[in-house]
Structures are given as structure tokens and as C-alpha cells.
Structure 1
Amino acid sequence: MNVTKVFGRRVRHFRSLKSLSQEELADLCDLHRTYIGSVERGERNITLLNAEKIAQSLGEPLVSFFTEDID
């Protein structure tokens, strides 16, 4: 599995654990809802700055978004 897909699956996983919608997460990150959706589908090769925004908004260390195992 490629890194964008792994990252996207982890974003969806952590977002779901916090019971956030894509729109709510997007608001927390100051990003667009459709951007979050495309990240979760692994369609975007995002910048490290946006990856860090997402991780901080979800309260998770950035490194935890790059492991394939889902808790």
C-alpha cells in the first residue's frame, strides 16, 4: 500500500475515533472538507505542513499516521 493511502486510512481512523465529520475536521485544520475527503481516499500527496495540521487537530503524533496497522 502506498504512503498516501496509509496516511488517508489513518486520518479516517483517528477522525472516526473522535466522532468528527470530515467538515468538522476540516474546520479544525482550516482546510476544505473536500480536501480532507481526498486525503482520506489517498488521492492527494499532501504537504508536511498540512499533514501536521491534521495530526495536531486530531491530537495525534504525526508519526502515527504512517503505520499500516489500524488499532
Structure 2
Amino acid sequence: MRPDRTPERPRRVHRTDWMALLCGLLFIGIGVRYLTGPIPDPVIMAPVLVGGLGFAAFVAILAKAIRR
């Protein structure tokens, strides 16, 4: 090791929070949908939102089970 360099620390990694990632993508997607074009029917968008949140929860549960 050269004296002018500081010693390297081991790199820390963290696990992906799939629930937060997928929920954020869902809300961004719905927001973009509302901003670009005619306003979608709320009767259609409410089940899409609930279904998307359910899917995100399902993926998060699977990821947690696989990690253990």
C-alpha cells in the first residue's frame, strides 16, 4: 500500500427494498398516465392501483422468503 492513499474500506451493500421500489414505480407510472393524455376513468384506475400494490407486496414477501 502506498503511503499517500488511505486504506480501502470493505464495500457495504444493502438489500433492495422491493416493496418501496415497485410502489414508487407504480405511482410514477400512474402520475405520468394522468399527465399525458385524457384523464383515465377512476373506476379503472382504482383496481389497477390496488392490484399493483398487491403485486408489490407479493414480490416483497417472496423476496423476503427467498433471502432466508
**TM-score computed with the length of structure 1 as normaliser:** 0.35
Mark the structure with the bigger radius of gyration: 2
**TM-score computed with the length of structure 2 as normaliser:** 0.36
